[in-house]
Structure 1
Amino acid sequence: MDSPQITKLFRQLFSHRACASCSTRPRAMTSGCWSQRRRLSSSPRSYDEASRSESSWQQRTDVFPQDKSEEFRRYPLVTANDLRTRRERPRRVKMLMRDFIEDSLYNPNYGYFAKQVVIFTPGDPFDFNNIRDEPEFHRILGQRYSAFEDALDEKEYNEARQLWHTPTELFRPYYGEAIARYLITNYKLSLYPYHDLIIYEMGAGNGTLMVNILDCIRDMDPDVYARTQFKVIEISSSLATLQTQQLKRSASARGHTDKVEIINRSVFDWNTYVSSPCFFLALEVFDNFAHDVLRYDPVTEQPLQGSVLVDAQGDFYEFYSQTIDPVAARFLRVRDAACSAPYNHPLRGPRLLRALRSRMPYASNLSIPEYIPTRLMQFFDILHNYFPAHKLVTSDFHSLPDTIRGINAPVVQTRYQRRTVPVTTPLVQQGYFDILFPTDFGVMEDIYRAITGKLTRVLTHEDFLRRWAYVEDTQTKNGENPMLSWYKNASVMTTV
């Protein structure tokens, strides 16, 4: 924890299930921006004092916000890259929403993934065939969760520990084996014996999937294993260390050492051209890619882009500007040109009806927010520019419960005293909240095709596993199958 003040922060936060605040009509600014009231903010204190300790937080319920247009005009515009070397959260700055989210999640010194996250490891694989049904599996999983966190608390108690699980860990090794079978089959169909099997994995967590895939390839096809290379691209230094340790935990895993290279860097810093054909795994990573936020004038249909102002006290204010930055503008152009089917948009419906609604008392003079995956578009650029012969395998959530207000809006949540606490805004204390977005696979597939020129296939998570997993391995006594039923809100996209 950064300081004892953080404990007070979470106790205040936890007293409210969701930090909701009164909505208010955005105000027109002479600078061409629109200002939105902050949601969560810190109590006033001086800049020098704030640099030494974290501030208290409280829920704001004021309907009429302070006018921060002068600060917005004066404060410098910064990016997440500018903040990478900072050890304290910034003040007296403004940034685009995508940079605020990127900094909150990935800053090396205070970001969520750099400091807070612990990935649940259940221990021995579950013996699904001897479990009665899914409720019993859920009960056993809860027991292992408690035992896992009890062991962590014995070493260091942390009531705000951020703990989450992945299908790789829950269904080890069967989930990884399904991915391995897909890789072996498609490699032998198109690349073997002329090329090696080169696998890149972005965001490898504890390294469990990497070991499971390599184990399966070694057992299924020694000839393919002899030509396999596995490269991990990992932004988190702590997770890169865990992945290295994973290769040392058993004699079997140590046998993979000469096959593996762990590259501790962000994929967005990648500048090495890879001409060889390869498979690129990106499983459960798109949900934490930073998004920009737009709102639209309901009458003129003009988009306005959201920025975040951080004032001298660390309070957050949301502004909307008529100037669209080049990255967001390019996303809109690519989406409009590439998408073959209608997509969800805040300006659905007749313009006249929108205009009438905007003139009603207390109606907002801007549309609801739309979150656009500009960072995902940049990732596709990386694949196209530096991995031209890649084949992508990606899985993520196409829908999420408890999202905040808006189109393609994220879930913003933290964990306190082993319970999940959702909030209603992404403008939250950097590093202490997970911000995860659903993926619109229809839009994503069209944009990926437009940028890379490659064809794709999208399957539900269940359909993909039925094709490539030995589903009997995760079937309970009564015929239920948690690996197939637990991720109904996920999809898999692959390059064909």
Structure 2
Amino acid sequence: MSSGDISYGNFRAIEGAARKASQGEDADERFCGSLYNPSYGYFSKQVVIFTPGEPFIFNDIADEPEFHRLLGERYTEFEDKLDLKQPNESRQLWHTPTELFRPYYGESVARYLVENYKISQFPYHDLIIYEMGAGNGTLMLNILDYIRDADPSVYQRTKYKIIEISPNLASMQANQLMRNADARGHASKVEIINKSIFEWNQVVASPCYFVAMEVFDNFAHDAIRYDPTTEEPLQGTVLIDAGGDFYEFYTPQIDPVASRYMRVRHAATGGKYPHPLYQNRFRRVLRGALPFQPNLSDPEYIPTRLMQFFDVLERYFPGHKLVTSDFHDLPDTIKGINAPVVQTRYQRRTVPVTTALVHQGYFDILFPTDFNVMESMYRAITGKLTRVLSHEDFLRRWAYVEETQTKSGENPLLNWYKNASVMTTV
């Protein structure tokens, strides 16, 4: 996609800076390199997953402020050790609930999987678990440890398969299985498949569970704006010049993926979804007649890659049940509907910016997930029924919450991530 010294790509391409689970940005190979290029890729050279060391003993912690303090100390110790080996002022460090609340968070997911498996599949089928976006493999180990200890009969029937596009992370996950005797005991249960989920080409006929925790927030999106008068949609396109500068423009030629997304969304939701033009049309036209008004609406960011993921599940995993968690709301987003947070880290501080047109490989781009729209589209594409719970409600049902309660009665496992939801296939 290049002509002379100028490179073009639709808006999906700029998300090469996305964090951990884009599973293959296909718009332009030049942009994809910002994720996985061995010299400068975000996963290859930039991203570090924070691990706090030994699990926190929450019952011995006074309250949530003390937990914040202890977590801050462990963050500092973690980065100090990294800096002794190789100082890096722009280190991209992030954490997940799996790491912060290890092993309790993973055990809650394991209980959900085991109980639902025993109700609907045991003993006629094996417990087959696919995980996408597995990070450094901590959730895998926590789930397998719990099943082995709590239900040996189910453990004998368990198979765990990680689908991981990043060679770096796939290697890290394999190393997790070798770190001690307990982990090595799971090796025969685990298969790490180093490929993109969007390259999957074989049907898995057996019933299985598909786990995707904090994956959708980094799936590629398209930017769409609308003509306020005609209501015609226009799709965002990015131009990169020879100096590496980004230029954004919009064209009425909507590509087939984005066009299909808008058709499916409208049909699945009955036309009820957030939209930049959902306001009084007369007021909109009047406002457009005023001088110096923008000639296009604010952008909306549509999760086209998420739709394609549902297509993969429907086509290749017909017997799947999805277990997914992600953010339904995010602070400090850039302008637009369903707009992302774009941020980097410098000198151990998070630095948010106001545009998604950022240097490849150094910025995290996280989109909120509209679970109302996403649930409707998943149902329409797969034909399956679902349940959406808040992060807290899911954990109240499946975690042993007394294990993460502080002396004051506060419970960080329940109180953190209130901006997240969990969707499961029923």
Report the alpha carbon displacement of residue 273 of structure 1 after superposing the two structures with TM: 1.1
Tell me the equivalent position of 2:415. Answer: 485
Does residue 94 of structure 2 align to residue 161 of structure 1? Answer: no
- Give the residue type in structure 2 aligned to 1:94: Y
Match of 1:252 among 182, 206, 221: 182
Report the alpha carbon displacement of residue 353 of structure 1 after superposing the two structures with TM: 1.2
Tell me the equivalent position of 2:160. Answer: 230
- For the residue of structure 1 that corresponds to 2:145, the secondary structure is helix
Tell me the equivalent position of 1:345. Answer: 275
Match of 1:99 among 2, 13, 31: 13
- For the residue of structure 1 that corresponds to 2:273, the secondary structure is coil
- Give the residue type in structure 2 aligned to 1:366: L
Tell me the equivalent position of 1:330. Answer: 260
Q: Which range is displaced more, 213-222 or 343-352? A: 343-352
1:88-108, CA deviations, whole angstroms, 9 ceiling, x for partnerless residues?
xx9511100012213366343
TM-score by length of 2: 0.94
Map residues 360-399 of structure 1 onto 2, 5 A cutoff.
360-399=290-329
- For the residue of structure 2 that corresponds to 1:272, the secondary structure is coil
Instruction: Go from structure 1 to structure 2 and tell me whether the alpha carbon gap of 1:447 and 1:299 turns closer, same or farther (over 3 Å shift).
Output: same
Q: Is the 8 A contact 1:286 1:439 kept in 2?
A: yes
Q: Is the 8 A contact 2:89 2:347 kept in 1?
A: yes
1:378-427, CA deviations, whole angstroms, 9 ceiling, x for partnerless residues?
00001011101000000000000000000000000000000011111110
Aligned-residue sequence identity (percent) comes to 71
Does residue 367 of structure 2 align to residue 437 of structure 1? Answer: yes
TM-score by length of 1: 0.81
CA distance in 1, matches of 2:161, 2:103: 19
Match of 2:53 among 123, 131, 150: 123
Does residue 145 of structure 2 align to residue 215 of structure 1? Answer: yes
1:50-103, CA deviations, whole angstroms, 9 ceiling, x for partnerless residues?
xxxxxxxxxxxxxxxxxxxxxxxxx748xxxxxxxxxxxx95111000122133
Tell me the equivalent position of 1:70. Answer: none
Q: Is the 8 A contact 1:414 1:433 kept in 2?
A: yes
- For the residue of structure 2 that corresponds to 1:138, the secondary structure is helix
Map residues 389-428 of structure 1 onto 2, 5 A cutoff.
389-428=319-358
Query: Structure 2, unaligned stretches of length 5 or more?
Result: 16-24, 26-30
CA distance in 1, matches of 2:325, 2:259: 27
Report the alpha carbon displacement of residue 115 of structure 1 after superposing the two structures with TM: 2.5
Q: Is the 8 A contact 2:36 2:166 kept in 1?
A: no
Q: Which range is displaced more, 389-398 or 269-278? A: 269-278
1:226-260, CA deviations, whole angstroms, 9 ceiling, x for partnerless residues?
00000001111111111111111111111000000
- For the residue of structure 1 that corresponds to 2:235, the secondary structure is strand
Report the alpha carbon displacement of residue 182 of structure 1 after superposing the two structures with TM: 0.2
Tell me the equivalent position of 2:116. Answer: 186
- For the residue of structure 1 that corresponds to 2:113, the secondary structure is helix
Q: Is the 8 A contact 1:411 1:437 kept in 2?
A: yes
CA distance in 2, matches of 1:340, 1:134: 43
Does residue 228 of structure 2 align to residue 298 of structure 1? Answer: yes
- Give the residue type in structure 2 aligned to 1:470: Y
- For the residue of structure 2 that corresponds to 1:484, the secondary structure is helix
1:95-142, CA deviations, whole angstroms, 9 ceiling, x for partnerless residues?
000122133663434332333110000000001000000000000000
Instruction: Go from structure 1 to structure 2 and tell me whether the alpha carbon gap of 1:290 and 1:438 turns closer, same or farther (over 3 Å shift).
Output: same
Root-mean-square deviation (Å): 1.3
- For the residue of structure 1 that corresponds to 2:72, the secondary structure is helix
- For the residue of structure 2 that corresponds to 1:392, the secondary structure is strand
CA distance in 2, matches of 1:228, 1:106: 32
CA distance in 2, matches of 1:92, 1:76: 6
Does residue 268 of structure 2 align to residue 354 of structure 1? Answer: no
Report the alpha carbon displacement of residue 351 of structure 1 after superposing the two structures with TM: 1.6
Q: Is the 8 A contact 1:413 1:422 kept in 2?
A: yes
- For the residue of structure 1 that corresponds to 2:322, the secondary structure is strand
The structure with the largest alpha-carbon Rg is 1
1:137-159, CA deviations, whole angstroms, 9 ceiling, x for partnerless residues?
00000000000000001111111
Does residue 25 of structure 2 align to residue 111 of structure 1? Answer: no
Instruction: Go from structure 1 to structure 2 and tell me whether the alpha carbon gap of 1:311 and 1:442 turns closer, same or farther (over 3 Å shift).
Output: same
CA distance in 1, matches of 2:137, 2:374: 27
Q: Is the 8 A contact 2:131 2:163 kept in 1?
A: yes
- Give the residue type in structure 1 aligned to 2:99: E
Does residue 125 of structure 2 align to residue 195 of structure 1? Answer: yes
Q: Is the 8 A contact 1:108 1:236 kept in 2?
A: no
Query: Structure 1, unaligned stretches of length 5 or more?
Result: 1-74, 78-89
Tell me the equivalent position of 1:28. Answer: none
Q: Is the 8 A contact 1:244 1:262 kept in 2?
A: yes
Match of 1:243 among 173, 177, 192: 173
Tell me the equivalent position of 2:214. Answer: 284
Q: Is the 8 A contact 2:92 2:345 kept in 1?
A: yes
Report the alpha carbon displacement of residue 340 of structure 1 after superposing the two structures with TM: 4.2
- For the residue of structure 2 that corresponds to 1:338, the secondary structure is helix
Report the alpha carbon displacement of residue 341 of structure 1 after superposing the two structures with TM: 6.9
Tell me the equivalent position of 2:18. Answer: none
